[in-house]
Chains A and B, each alone.
Chain A
Amino acid sequence: DTAVSQTPKYLVTQMGNDKSIKCEQNLGHDTMYWYKQDSKKFLKIMFSYNNKELIINETVPNRFSPKSPDKAHLNLHINSLELGDSAVYFCASSPITLGRDGYTFGSGTRLTVV
């Protein structure tokens, strides 16, 4: 039973299209995140939600819109896709207080914009 599952695993799409990535966690965690990993493997936070409430919104273009229907789900919708959006997007979750617990990551969505 996968703890953090995100779909799809691979996404190839044309510039200008709109696409969504879905994420679900069954760990009972209160906090969920979206991170972007670039071609140099650098992981950068995009958004964080606590119990459906947006907590962190880094300097991400308005074309990216997260949505959390409940605390177990955090989806990412991207409008008007650009070549530079190509990357691996990771969803993660954690308890509300990090302590010695870390993030549990999904296996990533590799987005390729052509």
Chain B
Amino acid sequence: TQLLEQSPQFLSIQEGENLTVYCNSSSVFSSLQWYRQEPGEGPVLLVTVVTGGEVKKLKRLTFQFGDARKDSSLHITAAQPGDTGLYLCAGARGGATNKLIFGTGTLLAVQP
């Protein structure tokens, strides 16, 4: 089983704080994606990282793919209440199936 473990599982912080979410696996992935899911909705794609060591920035969110393409991190600077949600990493092994293996999830609550 290609398990993607996320940590922390839950995170409750005050507005303005910084945080980092980790996504770790023993398997190599051809690409890794991050999604955010809000209550009652499906996950929405935030970013895809493809190259080992790749860093992508999306406003206050910074995503990094590990050099060995087995892990990833998401850093949020100056968190806002609108960042609240379930963050999911998902790894793709490539090939014909397009199958994504989803991580265990990190539930973030940003208090005003």
Cβ-neighbour of A107 out of B33, B40, B86, B99 (below 8 A): B40
Cβ-neighbour of A55 out of B33, B90, B97, B104 (below 8 A): B97
B residues 67-112 with Cβ under 8 Å of A? 86, 88, 90, 92, 96-100, 102, 104-105, 107
Residues of A within 8 A of B44 (CB): 105
A-B contact pairs, 26 of them (CB 8 A): A31-B98, A35-B102, A41-B37, A41-B107, A42-B102, A42-B105, A43-B43, A43-B88, A43-B102, A45-B99, A48-B98, A55-B96, A55-B97, A56-B99, A90-B43, A92-B42, A94-B98, A98-B31, A98-B98, A100-B48, A101-B45, A102-B48, A102-B90, A103-B45, A105-B43, A107-B42
| Contact surface of B with A, Cβ cutoff 8 Å | 31, 33, 35, 37, 40-45, 48, 50, 86, 88, 90, 92, 96-100, 102, 104-105, 107
